[in-house]
Chains A and B, each alone.
Chain A
Amino acid sequence: MTDTVIHTNGLTRKFGDFIAVNAISFEVKKGEIFGFLGANGAGKTTAMKILCGLLSPSSGEAKVAGYDVYTQNESIKKHIGYMSQKFSLYENLKVRENIKFYGGIYGLRGADLNQKTEQLINRLGLENEADKLVGSLPLGWKQKIAFSVAILHKPKIVFLDEPTGGVDPVTRRQFWDLIYEAANEGITVFVTTHYMDEAEYCDRVSIMVDGSIAALDTPEKLKEQFKTNSMEGVFLQLARNAKRSE
């Protein structure tokens, strides 16, 4: 149990009569890259927001990094990183200022913060851009910076909500290299995506349909189970039966 970082049991979220997330139960192990798939409107983002402490659940139980989402949601926040599909760095701050700002919020101070900031800038090869406004950089770069900022404080889990939306395949590939690096350092990665090639990179994948988890396993086993040779095949078979969509 010690290496289970996310645990949910019957987690449900209703908006009025609409059941956005319907009794989902799953576990995510430490260091795993967990793919969280589903068509638009399937409830992925809602589920992720509950786990991040941005939204209260209606019923069911969930623990993230060992903390309860009902009562300890502020403690959860110290141990997670989050990067949303909406780009979330301050566009009118410089790259270095953004890194220091978020690092500071997570309690990094003084020399430690400076050192981590410079390390990050060097690792991303942004020495020349560090004093440029984030708003002036291309989207792919912004996303790499946003991800690196989200794991700057070495969280136990990083939540990525469609992190690679709208960027070219090369940049996506580079982004996934960063994800692997993070996973190797022991950070659990919880990622939603619409790209099926990215689903192949995950250790395990869950597919949500209409608020419920329709399938959950390694990509290999899912392909076996659904008798197809790609994740796209698996996804289409499941999503075709979906009743709701945006």
Chain B
Amino acid sequence: MPIVQLIILPLASDFEVKNIRITVIDQDKSTYSKRLIQKLDASEYINVAEYKDSYTKALESTGAGTSDLILTIPVNFEKKLIKENESTIHLAADAVNGIKGGLGSAYAAMIVGDFNREIREEWMVMPRHSEFPAVEITSANWYNPGNNYKLFMVPGILVILVTMIGSFMTALNIVAEKEVGTIEQINVTPVKKYEFIIGKLLPFWVLGMVSITIGMTVAFLIFGLIPQGSFLTIYVFSGVYLFSVLGIGLLISTFADSQQQATLFAYFFMMVFVMLSGLFTPIESMPDWSKMLTKINPPAYLITVFRAVYIKGSSFSDLLPTFYALLGLGLLFNILAILNYRKRAT
């Protein structure tokens, strides 16, 4: 089941927005306006879906969900462009799906900018235009030059899956013992608290390490991903990480009396884990208060580490602060859990 998720989720959670449908209102119907439209249509991200003659009609198709962007090219677009050397067009985006709307208008703006440069270059040869000094920003994507989302998502999803195995299986296992009554039997024996806890955590720690290995194998076989950095770094971090999520599982088990309760806790924690992990939304662009919360969210650290090791090939010493943070969280959660676990009810 987790393996299937690991295979399917990265394919589904691709941020690239393709097939943006644009409705064009061409009131100018000039050579330049046609050229702009052609340029838009030629891009792999944008399809010109339809032509409308009024903004109201165009809005209708946006409302019906058949169009994502509306481009209005006003009358005299060409005339103004040539005579006054500048002209305006109007672009409206359907922002119901914020990502699609935002990216769509950004792509369209990029294409319009391209178009702008093109005609300037053409006119440059004509003497009546002076040469504008222009600053242009070009970006190069380091480490992940193709902006390959799978490279970005697979390590992240692997972390979330290991988290589930580590924390929730531990919690459910201990709570199940509460339900069956074996925990009472254990509590009445002279077994030490730490012996019991180590006995409970160690198997799940091993299981977690094994599932990371399986996950990395799947990442290689299906997606062809190999960490740029060392496996040792990954395993050391995973070991410390599992220690801290097992602590969370243990803590949940001390609060929950039934498996239903533990499952509800688990859902709650999982939401927080995923939303604040930086898996989908960059932590850097979160508001300050939630940035603070990500500091106590172990998956946020391991996702950073996995991505860094997989994509950049970061070494252990590069990630040392993260290591200490995970170790600290592990100690925190486990100490809380041990304090809260009582062999004798009060």
Among B182, B186, B343, which residue has the most Cβ atoms of chain A within 10 A?
B182
Interface residues of A in 17-55 (CB under 8 A from B): 49, 52-55
Are the C-beta atoms of B190 and A84 separated by less than 8 Å? Answer: no
Cβ-closest chain B residue relative to A102:
B189
Are the C-beta atoms of B182 and A105 separated by less than 8 Å? Answer: no
In the assembled complex, which residues on chain B have CB atoms less than 8 Å from the CB atom of A107? 190
In the assembled complex, which residues on chain A have CB atoms less than 8 Å from the CB atom of B188? 52-54, 77, 80, 82
Judge whether B187 is part of the interface by a CB distance below 8 angstroms: yes
Q: How large is the interface on B (under 10, 10 to 19, 20 to 34, 35 or more residues)?
A: 10 to 19
In the assembled complex, which residues on chain B have CB atoms less than 8 Å from the CB atom of A106? 189-190
In the complex, per-residue mask of B182-207: 1 if CB is within 8 Å of any chain A CB, else 0 = 10111111110000000000000000
Binds B, one of A86-94, A177-185, A193-201, A217-225: A86-94
Given A90-B182, A102-B185; 7 other pairs, CB 8 A cutoff: A54-B184, A55-B344, A74-B190, A77-B189, A78-B190, A87-B181, A88-B182
Judge whether A230 is part of the interface by a CB distance below 8 angstroms: no
Interface residues of B in 71-125 (CB under 8 A from A): none
Judge whether A56 is part of the interface by a CB distance below 8 angstroms: yes
- Chain A nearest Cβ from B221, distance in angstroms: 33
Are the C-beta atoms of B344 and A53 separated by less than 8 Å? Answer: yes
Judge whether A143 is part of the interface by a CB distance below 8 angstroms: no
Are the C-beta atoms of B187 and A54 separated by less than 8 Å? Answer: yes
Are the C-beta atoms of B184 and A88 separated by less than 8 Å? Answer: yes
Judge whether B64 is part of the interface by a CB distance below 8 angstroms: no
- Number of A residues contacting the other chain (C-beta, 8 Å)? 24
In the assembled complex, which residues on chain B have CB atoms less than 8 Å from the CB atom of A87? 180-181
Judge whether A73 is part of the interface by a CB distance below 8 angstroms: yes
Among A55, A74, A78, A91, which residue has the most Cβ atoms of chain B within 10 A?
A74
In the assembled complex, which residues on chain B have CB atoms less than 8 Å from the CB atom of A77? 188-190
In the assembled complex, which residues on chain B have CB atoms less than 8 Å from the CB atom of A73? 344
In the assembled complex, which residues on chain A have CB atoms less than 8 Å from the CB atom of B189? 77, 102, 105-106
- Chain A nearest Cβ from B187, distance in angstroms: 6
A53 CA to B182 CA, complexed, in Å = 16
In the complex, per-residue mask of B163-177: 1 if CB is within 8 Å of any chain A CB, else 0 = 000000000000000
Write the residues of chain A forming the contact surface with B, with a CB cutoff of 8 angstroms: 49, 52-56, 73-75, 77-78, 80, 82, 84, 86-91, 102, 105-107
In the assembled complex, which residues on chain A have CB atoms less than 8 Å from the CB atom of B181? 84, 86-88
Judge whether B31 is part of the interface by a CB distance below 8 angstroms: no
Are the C-beta atoms of B344 and A105 separated by less than 8 Å? Answer: no
Q: Can you list 19 A-B contacts with CB-CB less than 8 angstroms, sorted by A residue number?
A: A53-B188, A53-B344, A54-B184, A54-B188, A54-B343, A55-B344, A73-B344, A77-B190, A78-B190, A84-B184, A86-B181, A87-B181, A88-B181, A88-B185, A91-B180, A102-B185, A102-B189, A105-B189, A105-B191
- Chain B nearest Cβ from A35, distance in angstroms: 20
A54 CA to B344 CA, complexed, in Å = 4
Cβ-closest chain B residue relative to A75:
B190
Cβ-closest chain A residue relative to B179:
A86
A84 CA to B185 CA, complexed, in Å = 8
Judge whether B1 is part of the interface by a CB distance below 8 angstroms: no
In the assembled complex, which residues on chain B have CB atoms less than 8 Å from the CB atom of A75? 190
Cβ-closest chain A residue relative to B195:
A105
Are the C-beta atoms of B184 and A56 separated by less than 8 Å? Answer: no
Judge whether B285 is part of the interface by a CB distance below 8 angstroms: no
Cβ-closest chain A residue relative to B185:
A88
Closest 3 CB pairs of A and B: A86-B181, A88-B185, A82-B188
In the assembled complex, which residues on chain B have CB atoms less than 8 Å from the CB atom of A90? 182
When the two chains form the complex, which single residue of A49, A53, A55, A82 contacts B185, counting CB atoms closer than 8 Å? A82
In the assembled complex, which residues on chain B have CB atoms less than 8 Å from the CB atom of A88? 180-182, 184-185
A84 CA to B188 CA, complexed, in Å = 10
- Chain B nearest Cβ from A109, distance in angstroms: 14
Judge whether B4 is part of the interface by a CB distance below 8 angstroms: no
A91 CA to B184 CA, complexed, in Å = 15
**Given A77-B190, A105-B191, A106-B190: A56 and B345 within 8 A (CB)?**
yes
- Chain A nearest Cβ from B175, distance in angstroms: 15
Judge whether B346 is part of the interface by a CB distance below 8 angstroms: yes
